[in-house]
Amino acid sequence: MFRISLYVAVVLIFFGLILFVVGLFYPVLFIEDGLIETAGAALFFAAAVVSLYCLIAGRNTCSRLETVVTVLLVPASLVLALSEISFGARLGLLSPPAMYGGGEFDGGHDALILILRLIRDGQLSGWFYLIVAFISVTAGWAAYRWRHLGLRLWSDIKSNPLLLGVAASASLVALAVILDLKTQRHLSLVEETLEFLSAAVLVATVSYRSLVFKREAWQAKLRDVPGRSI
């Protein structure tokens, strides 16, 4: 499993570098609502559809953790797909509200940008920092108190292609959101590349898992046929 993960990581880095170089020569492909962003939205939408199929195909064979993750993937993938197209704002489907500090609130990452702007300008009360501190301390205590569960979860993720792929995709999205806070052109290229790779990893992961579920269901049917063996 580790060797396969290493191969996948190398392939991702390779294609990521290719996309970045292409963006340097053809930046029009990486603009807002350009080809790369639209393709990423389509891939996230496809991931939502395939995740729904995974729930149906693997209802009798997938583990409880896989079921929970797949259930969450359906709405999460749809939100990511809509976020890529600004929830339809640039298609004229809705009019996004104005955002503090300039711009429009038309993407999920704008919530983080808004909070950072409010912190920068001192617009948040002391209650906000108190709540953040309380949540941080509670999360730290919970992580230490139930660290054995975290280690078990990490072990499950490393040994499960579905969980590992979802974790990799989520990490790429998180890194892209952080880079989206900056406005440099090169960082913007990296951010769009990471979002596209995240969508590609996610749809590839759920597609592979759906094929496994389908094969397992087919094998189960063969076992039920008298006189047949696999």
Give tens-digit pLDDT for 177-217: 887 776 666 777 888 888 899 999 999 888 888 887 777 76
Q: Which residue has the tokens 């080809």?
A: 35
pLDDT score at 47: 92
Whether the predicted model's global pTM rises above the 0.85 cut: no
- For the chain, which residues make up each domain, given as ranges? 2-224
pLDDT score at 99: 74
pLDDT score at 220: 66
The CA-atom distances, in angstroms, between 161 and each of 8, 33, 164, 168, 206 are 11, 31, 5, 10, 9
pLDDT score at 48: 92
Q: Which residue ranges in the chain fall short of pLDDT 50? A: 229-230
Concatenating the DSSP letter of every residue in 203-217 gives HHHHHHHHHHHHHHH
Q: Which residue has the tokens 């060797």?
A: 3
Q: Which three-class secondary structure state does DSSP give residue 115?
A: helix
Among 177, 42, 39, 185, CA closest to 107: 177
pLDDT score at 45: 92
Quick one: DSSP state of residue 12?
A: H
Strands (E), 61-116: none
The CA-atom distances, in angstroms, between 207 and each of 24, 35, 151, 191 are 31, 23, 27, 24
pLDDT score at 87: 64
pLDDT score at 179: 79
